[in-house]
Chain A
Amino acid sequence: MEGSSIATMGRDEPRLAPRRRLLPAAVLVIVLAAALILPQLTSNQFYIHLANLMLLNSIFAVSLGLIASVGQISLGHAAFVAAGAYVSALAALSFKLPPILGIVLAGLVTGLAAVLLGKILLRLRGVYFVLVTFLAGQVFTLIVLNWESVTHGANGLLGIPAISIFGLPLSTRLRFYYFALAAFIIVVTFVWALMRSQYGRAFRSIAENVRLAESSGIDVSHYQIVAFALGSGIAGAAGAAMVHYIRFLSPDSFTFNDSIAYITMLVVGGRHTMIGGVLGALFLTPLPELFRGFVGAQHIIYGVILLSVLLFIPNGLVSIGRSFFSKGSEPETPK
């Protein structure tokens, strides 16, 4: 993270020359245009489904990255995703709450739950926090499994309605795609703005040196809770969005394996930057599908790719892009 992780991106470098500003902007416009047009060109529903999962996984990974930005790794992230999904699904099934409001409600409920949980859990750091979040996730699964009168236990919830916007149900994969894309852009923009702000400064200070952060007047426990609540709230809302897309929910929908998957995406993409989570999700979500032909060997191939990424690009995929972008125009070398 050579000084230009999101930590310092665009802040401490002297004004970028117009050409250096233009390039990222142009890339952004092209990517956005492609994201808008490409799905129209394919009739293959599976590709669109995959794109939807990539967008949702990106949101999960980015929200986990937000929690990781204060130096904490949560092994219970999928539990917040599941909690959001259950809140919105149950609200829709029992109280006929429109899914779009259910998503908001899910975000608020999971965010609030994270505040309460965080007040207790965030006193722990490092491996202790990891372990306790793992346990919290397992406990959540057990509760869902056993509270049959509400959650229908292992049978799961069926007939969850699709999101409907101004009377238009997002019941096709393509329609949901544009919803997911919008949600993705909102989340990424929000997290980007957050990490660029004084919040981001506080988060990174805490991750790098807790004691010094506190003695610089940064209220460590407060900002840790803010990061945990925002990250969990976003995950909960996105979980709700996903459940109105998949339209079925059981305790198996989001499990510990998913928590691990989000962490993997974050690490493979580059855990020190927001865009890393996105890259990791975009890379890893479709990966298993490429090896469908090699039945039996696909997990092995997946594992080998994972290991190679960790071995050869330890700072994640994002570091490849960075060295590409900074080629020829080093920001400023200290004299």
Chain B
Amino acid sequence: MSAALLEVDAISRRFGGLNALKDVSFSIKTGEIVGLIGPNGAGKTTCFNVVSGVMSPSSGAIRFEQRSIVGKKPSAIVSEGLVRTFQATTIFPDATVIENVMRGAFATTPVSMLGSIFNTRAARTALSATRSRCELLLERLSLLQFRQRRAGELSYGGQRRLGVAIALAARPKLLMLDEPVAGLNPEEAADFGRLIKELHKTENISVLLVEHHMRLVMGLCDRLVVLDHGEKIAEGVPAEIRANRSVIQAYLGAEEAA
């Protein structure tokens, strides 16, 4: 059994009197695609924010490649190889598409800051290598033809793909996607699912996915973690989750009440 890439160990997060997360533990192994699901308000996004360092946990430990990442800045966590996307604000709308990806590659561009001011030969070489890498990413995400266009002018689906390209440019080992297909039509959503699967292979990444779109999640994920009211209520392969009574209750609790 390969070692866990990400270990989330009994994290809790309180907002005033509200327990947004209570003793949640799960782990992701290298190469896995794991889905984080649950009804609205289950704490999925809070969990995402805590793991990516946007907020700190009230208690508990988070280890990435066996090293604790609790208390690190989000930017430092990115450098460790854990990169996330956001639900809505995933691009730099006023910059060109290629510049968006170049910004995503900021932390992984091996250039000294001073060198880039003086525009040394080393800096130019490093930046042009990064540019080629970013163009390759754009090609994989079928965005290359728009490279000079303002990112805000892309279609909604295009902006979503660009968000993923920005994240991939940071060379993630674990890519955390926050509702990547929200707002896409069924066809686009299915395309996106295939894309994630493809990138999972070509970019050699593990994926943690928060998503409402059940068909996508069930088809894509190796394993699912289910949250409800801030607690983990189930974990397992999609078939197990589909048959799990407490999961059905969490989602369709109204059925019994009715």
Residue numbers of A with Cβ under 8 A of B are: 1-3, 7-8, 11-13, 193-194, 196-199, 201-202, 204-205, 208-209, 211-221, 331-332, 334-335
Contact = CB atoms under 8 A, between A and B. Distances in A.
Contacts of B116: 197-199
Given A212-B86, A334-B145, A194 B75 contact: no
Contact of A216 (B107, B145, B148): B107
Given A209-B89, A212-B90, A212-B166, A217 B95 contact: no
A155 to B, nearest CB: 43
B170 interface: yes
B92 A3 contact: no
Nearest to B104: A216
Nearest to A216: B104
Given A197-B117, A217-B75, 11 more contacts: A1-B94, A8-B95, A197-B119, A199-B116, A202-B106, A208-B94, A209-B89, A213-B103, A215-B54, A218-B75, A219-B73
A221 B74 CA distance: 11
A167 B108 CA distance: 50
A145 to B, nearest CB: 39
B106 A201 contact: yes
Contacts of A8: 95-96, 99
Contacts of B133: none
B76 to A, nearest CB: 7
Contacts of B119: 193, 196-197
B149 interface: yes
Contacts of A197: 113, 116-117, 119, 123
Contacts of A13: 148
Contact of A219 (B52, B75, B111): B75
A2 B153 CA distance: 11
A196 B120 CA distance: 13
Nearest to A210: B89
B98 interface: yes
A215 B99 contact: no
Contacts of A196: 119
A32 B109 CA distance: 36
A215 B84 contact: yes
18 contacts: A3-B150, A7-B94, A7-B95, A12-B148, A13-B148, A193-B119, A197-B116, A204-B92, A209-B91, A211-B89, A215-B74, A215-B78, A215-B86, A216-B103, A216-B104, A217-B75, A217-B106, A217-B107
Contacts of B84: 215
B78 A217 contact: yes
Interface of B: 52, 54, 73-76, 78-79, 83-86, 89-96, 98-99, 102-109, 111, 113, 116-119, 123, 145-150, 166-167, 169-170
A194 B117 contact: yes
Contact of A7 (B52, B99, B148): B99
Contact of B92 (A11, A193, A208, A217): A208
A198 B111 contact: yes
Nearest to A331: B148
Given A3-B150, A217-B107, A335 B95 contact: no
A335 B52 CA distance: 38
Contacts of B89: 209, 211-212
- Cβ-closest 3 pairs across A and B: A217-B107, A217-B78, A197-B116
Given A2-B150, A209-B91, A332-B148, A218 B107 contact: yes
Contact of B91 (A193, A204, A212, A218): A212
